[in-house]
Amino acid sequence: MSDTIERTDVLVIGSGFGGAIAAYHLAAGGAKVTVLERGPWLKNDEFEHDYQLGSSYTRIFDFVVGDGMSVLGGNCVGGGSVVYFAAMPRAPKFVFDRHGSIGRRMWPKSVSRETLDPWYDRIEESLSVSKQEWNDASYAGGLWGAACDHAGRTANPLAAAIDNSKCVNCNFMMAGCRFEAKQSLTVNYLPGALAHGAEIRPLHEVQYLERTPEGDYRVHYNIVDDEDYRLQSGSGVIEAKIVVMAAGAAATPVILQRSEAHLGTMPHAVGRYFSGNGERLNTAILNEDKVAEILGLSRGDGQLPYGANAIGKGPTVASWDKLDGSLPEYSRYSLEQLYFPPGLGTILAQAPDASGPTWFGKEKKEILKNWKSWLTIFCMTEDDNEGVFGPPPATGNAHRISQQLLGRGNLSYKPTDNTWHGWNQADADVKEILEKDGLAKVMPWTNDLVGAYTVHPLASCRMGDDPNTSALDDTNELRGHSGIFVTDGSAVPGALTVNPAMTIAALAERAVPHIVAAAQAKGIAVTYGAPAPTGYKSGRNAVLPLLRKKQLADA
Amino acid sequence: MRRIPIRKVDIAADATFTLEAYADTIVPGEKRWPGDRAIAGVSTGGGAVSCGALDLLRWDATGIHDGLEDLASQVNEHARAFAEKAGLTLDETVPPFVSLDYDDRVRLIEELTTPGHPEKDFWVLLSLFCNMAYDSAAHLHTDEALEEGHAGLTAMGITAPDADGLWRFQDFGYGRQLADLHPDTTPSGSPA
C-alpha cells in the first residue's frame, strides 16, 4: 500500500439529490470533487423490467427494517432520483411555520416558501419539472381524480420530472427508467458534474470521518461487492478540506454517530427527530361495476373500466384539499394516488372484512386475485419527528441480510398520539372518498409487520435556529464541525405533507453558495454561478442578486 | 449478466415439509396430490408452494437460506407447545407444524408475528419471502415466470411483456379532466 494519502478538495458522500447538486456546482466552480457512492452505477440498459432478486429492482434500492419504522431508499449512483416516482411538488407555505414536537417554529427563520421559491425555480429548470395535464394522468390517477370529484373534492395532476414524450407507462420506474423519460440526476446534474471533472466512485461505502492535524477531514470507506453487498473487499481513506454529507436520511446520521469517537461530540439532534414524512398507505379494492356505473369510466374493448394497476407512471394525481394552513397541525395532509409494485408492499395490504388474518391466508389470497383493481393511496401527513437512531451497526447503516435490498437497522420509531391523529384522519378520509356509494373497500397497510413504512426519510440531522434541536445551522453546516455540510433529506426539519424530492433538491441548491464560501475560506479556488446543467441561466440569474445582497463571501 | 452463480442450499425432507406448510399458510394453494399433508388445501389454484417458495427460500440471495432448518425446527417446537396448550393430539408421522390444521397454523403464525414476540423478525422475514414467491416470483425472471404460467403472477393478472421483455402501454389513461383543480395551485402545478 502506498504511503501517499489521496486528497481531494471536496468529498461528497452520496450521489442522490443532496450529493449530485453539490458535486455539480462545486466542480463547475473549479473545485476538485470526488463523490463516494455506496451503491452500483447502472447504465440505462441495465435498468430491467424484472422482479427477480439481483435485477436492477433489487440492486438499486435498499429496504431497511427498523424498530417501528422501515425505510425504502435509493442505493446507486443517482440515489433516490433513480428509484423515485418523479413527483415534484413544492411544499405548501404552512409547512415552513410548523412547530412539531418542539413547540416553536422548527425551520430556520431564513427559510420559508417565499425564500425557497427561487431555489425551487432552479430545480424546475434543471430537471424540466412541468405541470402535468389530465391527458398525462394514468388510469389510476384518473380514477382517483374521478372519485375525489364524486366526493365533492378537488384533485390535481402532479408536477413531475418526466418527459412524457419518452414515457411508455411501464410502471417499472422504481427499477430505474431505461427510456430516459424520468429526469433522474443521471441525465442532468451528474453528467454535468463529470463534464466539469468530478469523479464518481460507486460501491464505496463511507464508514466514518476523522480530523487531520491540519484541520481537514479524513474519510474512511469500505469497498462493497457489486452484486452481493454483504461482501466487502478492502477499504481506503481519502482526505478533503470540505465534506458534503448526502448519504440519505437513514445513513448520514449513522456515519456521523460512528464518527463521534474521532470527531468529538456531535450535536444532540444527529440521529434524532427522524421523520417518515408522515407516510401511510391505504389499499382500495375497487368494485369495477361501480367504477363504470358511478364514475362513468371505461377503457373500452371489453376491458375492465379500471383494471389497470400495473399501467402508468407512479403517482399522477393528488388531492390537496387538506393542505389548508388554517387547519391545526397534524390534520393537514395530501392524498396521492400511487403505484406500489409487488414484492415488498403487497404483503402489507390487508383484506377488508376478513374473518381470519388480514395480511396472509386464504382471504388475503382472494384479494390478490383482484390486484389489477387495487388502487393505492399514499397519505403524507404531519408526523412528530419521533424517530431515533440507536448505536450504529458495524458497517454501513444496517446489518445486511439479503444479497441486496434487505437489512436490519437501528432506527426506532414509536408514533405519538399526534402522528396517529394525522394518520387516522387521513385513513378516514380515504375511506370516505373511496367507499362512497360502494366504489371500493379500503384498508390501510398494517404497521404490525415492519412498522410504519416510509419512502421519504427526513430530518435525522436537521437544520434549524436552535442548537438544542437542530444539527445544522441555516447554511446546512454541521454545528461545531466547520467544513461538514449535510444536504440530503436529513437536513429537512420535518414532514412536508407532499413528496419531498423537490424540497430536498431546492435546499441543496440553496446550500451550495454557502459551501462554496466555506471552501473559499479554506483556500480552495472555487466560484459560484454555474447555469443549470442543461445550460439554462434564468434560474441562476434570479438567485445571484439574492446572494450579493447577503454577502455570502463573508459567510 | 450475473457473475455470482446461483447457490441453493439443500435442506432435509422434514424441514422442507414443514416450511412448505408454513408457506402454504401464508399463501394457501390446492393439494398437489391426494393426501398431500404439507398443503392444507383450503384454497383453489396454486399457492406459495407451487409458485416456488422453497426454491426462493433456499437461494442464498435471500440471506435466510442458512437458517431454514433452524426455522423449521423452531416452528415445530412452537407447534408442539401450541398443541399441548390447546389439548390437541399431534400425528407423530409428520412434523408437528404439518400435523396442525390450517386454522391452527394460522393462529400459531399470528402469535409468532405479533409485535413484541421475541422471534417476530424471523417469522416476518420468512413470511415475506413466502409471499414474494407468489406475488413477484423473486426467484425467477418475471417474463420467463409468466411464460411458464406462474400461478401467482397469472392470478394477479400481470400481462406478458413485449417481445424484448419490456412492458409498454400505449393506452394508459382516460385522457380527460376528471376533477376540478384545487383553487390554490401555482402555474407550475404545485400547492400555493
Residue B2: pLDDT above 70?
A: no
pLDDT in tens, B134-154: 999 999 999 999 999 999 999
The reply to whether B9 touches chain A by the CB within 8 Å rule is no
* Coil vs helix vs strand at A116: helix
pLDDT for res A16: 98
Dihedral over Cα of B89, B95, B97, B100: its sign = negative
pTM assigned to the model: 0.97
- Judge: A139–B173 Cβ closer than 8 Å, yes or no: yes
Residue ranges of B 125-184 with Cβ closer than 8 A to chain A: 125, 127-128, 131-132, 134-143, 152, 155-159, 161, 165-169, 171-184
The reply to whether A122 touches chain B by the CB within 8 Å rule is no
- Label residue A43 exposed, middle or buried (CB < 10 Å: 0-12, 13-18, 19+): exposed
Which residue from A29, A33, A26 is spatially nearest to A11, judged by alpha carbons?
A33
**Residues, chain A:** 555
B44: CB partners within 8 A, 6+ apart = B30
* Coil vs helix vs strand at A207: strand
Cα separation, B11 vs B36, whole angstroms: 19
What stretches of A353-483 show up as alpha helix (H) in DSSP?
A: 362-368, 417-435
Half-sphere exposure (CA, 13 Å, Cβ side) for A57?
21
Q: Residue with C-alpha cell 390535481? A: A156
The reply to whether A292 touches chain B by the CB within 8 Å rule is no
Which residue from A273, A243, A248, A275 is spatially nearest to A259, judged by alpha carbons?
A243
- The confidence band for B3, taking pLDDT boundaries of 50, 70 and 90, is low
pLDDT for res A3: 66
* Coil vs helix vs strand at A391: coil
The reply to whether A248 touches chain B by the CB within 8 Å rule is no
pLDDT in tens, B86-137: 999 999 999 999 999 999 999 999 999 999 999 999 999 999 999 999 999 9
Contact by Cβ (8 Å): A19, A82: no
Half-sphere exposure (CA, 13 Å, Cβ side) for A476?
33
The reply to whether A70 touches chain B by the CB within 8 Å rule is no
**Phi and psi based region of residue A365 (left: phi greater than 0; alpha: psi -120 to 50; beta: remaining):** alpha
Burial B65-95 (b: 16+ CB within 10 A, else e): bebbbebbbbbbebbbebbeeeebebeeebb
Q: Which residues pair with B165 in a beta bridge?
A: none
- Judge: B173–A51 Cβ closer than 8 Å, yes or no: no
Contact by Cβ (8 Å): A90, B186: yes
Q: How far is CA A507 from CA A10, A277, B67, in A?
A: 19, 16, 45
Dihedral over Cα of A280, A277, A433, A89: its sign = negative
Q: Which of A297, A346, A357 lies closest to B131 in CB terms? A: A346
pLDDT for res A166: 97
Q: How far is CA B117 from CA A12, A65, B100, B123, B124, in A?
A: 41, 16, 21, 10, 11
The reply to whether B63 touches chain A by the CB within 8 Å rule is yes
Q: Which of A143, A170, A297 lies closest to B168 in CB terms? A: A170
- Judge: B157–A307 Cβ closer than 8 Å, yes or no: yes
pLDDT in tens, A463-493: 999 999 999 999 999 999 999 999 999 999 9
pLDDT for res A345: 87
Q: Cα distance from A103 to chain B (closest Cα, Å)?
A: 25
Cα separation, B188 vs B192, whole angstroms: 10
The reply to whether A231 touches chain B by the CB within 8 Å rule is no
Contact by Cβ (8 Å): A71, A418: no
Average per-residue pLDDT for chain A? 96
ipTM at complex level: 0.97
Q: What is the mean pLDDT of each run of 10 residues along chain A (555 residues)?
A: 83 98 98 98 96 95 96 97 97 97 94 98 96 96 98 97 96 95 97 98 98 97 96 96 98 98 98 98 98 97 95 96 97 97 92 97 98 98 98 96 95 98 98 98 97 97 98 98 98 98 98 98 97 95 84 48
Q: Cα distance from B99 to chain A (closest Cα, Å)?
A: 18
pLDDT in tens, A91-115: 999 999 999 989 899 999 999 999 9
Percentage of the residues of chain B whose pLDDT score is greater than 70 = 98
Cα separation, A214 vs A193, whole angstroms: 28
Interface test with B, best of A52, A154, A173 (most B CBs within 10 A): A52
pLDDT for res A344: 79
